[in-house]
Structure 1
Amino acid sequence: MGLAGLVIAFIVLALAGFSKGITGMGIPFVATPVLTLLYGLPTAIAITMPVTVLTDIIMLIHSSKSWRVIKRGIILMLSGGLGIVSGTFILININPNILSGILGTILLLFVCSSYLSILPKFAKSPPKWVDGIFGVFCGNLQGAAGASGPIVSMYLFQMNISRKDFLFLINCFFVVLDVTQLSTITTLGFYEGNKLFPYSLLAIFPSLIGLWVAFKLNKKITDNIFKHSILILITINGVLLLFKFVFSFYE
């Protein structure tokens, strides 16, 4: 890894930590697409997974505890944990570029639909079987492309829950998925030989700096800014995924 790549990675991870503190989504959402362009998807996921789990736990501890909403997301979380195992095997065995293109398109369509206010809101919590299917889908996406954040955000957005409940529920979901994914990629030998593990430890420092800055500014962020910040991040993520898809044809 060259010096220029490390500098870019440091800046991106700091921004990802900041995003995590503001929106609840950060490391896989912001850093993984950029690091994928630099080093490839398996390497990017291996580098970011330890700090992803750490920031998930910190966010969960820091956020307001809305235990009453857990029942709305328990099936989503458990099925997501199951889906992530099969998704990680997809990461190893299948070229993820086509998946990136499809996902990027879905994200940009969601953003356009949201700004045009044509997406319906759930009048009540979706049926448990919908949560189960969607959880497996998100788990597969997380395992295969490190990209479940935008999709589960879209799902929770349509539930029309409060900002506090959104942050708590999405971080509960991420803790389950990311701990499962870290265990899976470790079992599959991603860190054998310790070539990537030192870089994954270095990734912790810029991410925590960004997270600390976000915590200092969080009370100044209004609900409207919060919503638009998430939509902007989804847009950036969608564009990066589409860029990765198009760029793959020239490799």
Structure 2
Amino acid sequence: MDVTEILLAGLGLFLGGVLKGATGAGAPMIGVPVLAMLFNVPTAVALFAIPNLLTNVTQGWQFRAHLGRMGLATSFALWGALGALVGSVLLAVAPATLLMAGVGAVVLSYIVFRLMRPDWQLGPNAESRLTAPAGLIGGVLQGASGMSGPVSITYLNALRLERPRFMATISIFFCTMALMQIPALALLGILTPKLALWGILAVGPLLLGMPVGNWLASQISKAMFDKLILVLLTVIAAKLLFDGLTA
């Protein structure tokens, strides 16, 4: 990596930290696409795996008292871990151009859903029926693209969990997936010792961005912050789709 790539990667990680600090989740939704534009999807996913684990261990510990019933968190996390294993294998075998276009499509689908159904809410019996498929699909997305947010965050938001319980549940989900994903990526030859070292260093920009996100969330409305993030994600997703489809 040259100096320009390092600076741009740091900026992407910092912006991901800003988003996580403001909302409690979603750092890969910015960080992974930026890294994928600079390098490729497997490198981006491998680079983000270790920071994703470490930041969510911290967040999960902070909100551990708010888990409530463990059934949702446990089931969601275990199905997510299984999906992450499947997704990691897909990451190793799928063509690079398909992965890049796929990441762009995932981000755009998330944006379209957010715009069309901002207040979507699941019924009272949805948790028992949908936790397993939502966790599995989110895990596959995490393993193959580094981003489960379009499914995992949307699903938990639709359950209308209180913010502290949401933070605790999503942290356990991300941590469990990462504990499956990291050794799988290493065994598949995607997460090399060099990338693991870069991943540890990448925790720095994320942690620097999180307090900024907390501050921004207190200065502007949530609606305005969401719009700014969606604009940024649209630009990134369009670039990834263009690169993937024209390569």
Give the TM-score category using the shorter length: 0.7 to 0.9
Structure 2 counterpart of 1:243: 239
Q: For residue 241 of structure 2, what is the amino acid of its counterpart? A: F
- CA RMSD after TM alignment: 2.5
Instruction: Name the TM-score, length of structure 2 as normaliser.
Output: 0.86
Q: For residue 245 of structure 2, what is the amino acid of its counterpart? A: F
> Residues 248, 214 of structure 1: CA spacing in aligned structure 2 closer, same or farther, 3 A cutoff?
closer
Structure 2 counterpart of 1:85: 85
**Are the equivalent residues in 2 in contact too, given 1:79–1:136 (CA < 8 A)?**
yes
> Residues 158, 237 of structure 1: CA spacing in aligned structure 2 closer, same or farther, 3 A cutoff?
same
Q: For residues 198-244 of structure 1, what are the alpha-carbon distances to aligned partners after superposition, in whole Å with 9 as ceiling and x for unaligned?
A: 322321221222234445x388379x62x664565456435523431
Structure 1 counterpart of 2:55: 55
SS of 2:37's equivalent?
helix
**Shift in Å at residue 127 of structure 1?**
4.5
Structure 2 counterpart of 1:106: 109
Structure 1 counterpart of 2:44: 44
SS of 1:195's equivalent?
helix
> Residues 197, 160 of structure 1: CA spacing in aligned structure 2 closer, same or farther, 3 A cutoff?
closer
CA distance in 2, matches of 1:213, 1:108: 23
**Are the equivalent residues in 2 in contact too, given 1:23–1:229 (CA < 8 A)?**
no
Q: For residues 4-37 of structure 1, what are the alpha-carbon distances to aligned partners after superposition, in whole Å with 9 as ceiling and x for unaligned?
A: 1111111221221222222122432211100100
> Residues 74, 231 of structure 1: CA spacing in aligned structure 2 closer, same or farther, 3 A cutoff?
farther
Q: For residue 236 of structure 2, what is the amino acid of its counterpart? A: L
Q: Identity over the aligned pairs, expressed in percent? A: 24
CA distance in 2, matches of 1:112, 1:26: 17
> Residues 159, 191 of structure 1: CA spacing in aligned structure 2 closer, same or farther, 3 A cutoff?
closer
Q: For residues 158-186 of structure 1, what are the alpha-carbon distances to aligned partners after superposition, in whole Å with 9 as ceiling and x for unaligned?
A: 11222222222211211111222112112
CA distance in 1, matches of 2:23, 2:164: 11
**Shift in Å at residue 55 of structure 1?**
0.5
SS of 2:91's equivalent?
helix
CA distance in 2, matches of 1:126, 1:75: 14
> Residues 150, 232 of structure 1: CA spacing in aligned structure 2 closer, same or farther, 3 A cutoff?
farther
CA distance in 2, matches of 1:160, 1:231: 21
Question: Where does the alignment leave 5 or more consecutive residues of structure 1 unmatched?
Answer: none
**Shift in Å at residue 106 of structure 1?**
2.0
Question: Where does the alignment leave 5 or more consecutive residues of structure 2 unmatched?
Answer: none
Q: For residue 208 of structure 1, what is the amino acid of its counterpart? A: L
Q: For residue 195 of structure 1, what is the amino acid of its counterpart? A: K
Structure 1 counterpart of 2:66: 66
CA distance in 2, matches of 1:220, 1:177: 31
Q: For residue 8 of structure 1, what is the amino acid of its counterpart? A: L
Aligned length: 244
Q: For residue 111 of structure 2, what is the amino acid of its counterpart? A: L
Identify the range of structure 1 (41-50 vs 137-146) with the bigger mean alpha-carbon deviation: 41-50
The within-5 A match list for 1:205-216 is: 205-214=204-213
CA distance in 1, matches of 2:104, 2:209: 29
**Are the equivalent residues in 2 in contact too, given 1:150–1:234 (CA < 8 A)?**
no
Instruction: Name the TM-score, length of structure 1 as normaliser.
Output: 0.85
Q: For residues 121-172 of structure 1, what are the alpha-carbon distances to aligned partners after superposition, in whole Å with 9 as ceiling and x for unaligned?
A: 2231514342111211111111011110232111112112222222222112
> Residues 68, 56 of structure 1: CA spacing in aligned structure 2 closer, same or farther, 3 A cutoff?
same
CA distance in 1, matches of 2:73, 2:235: 29
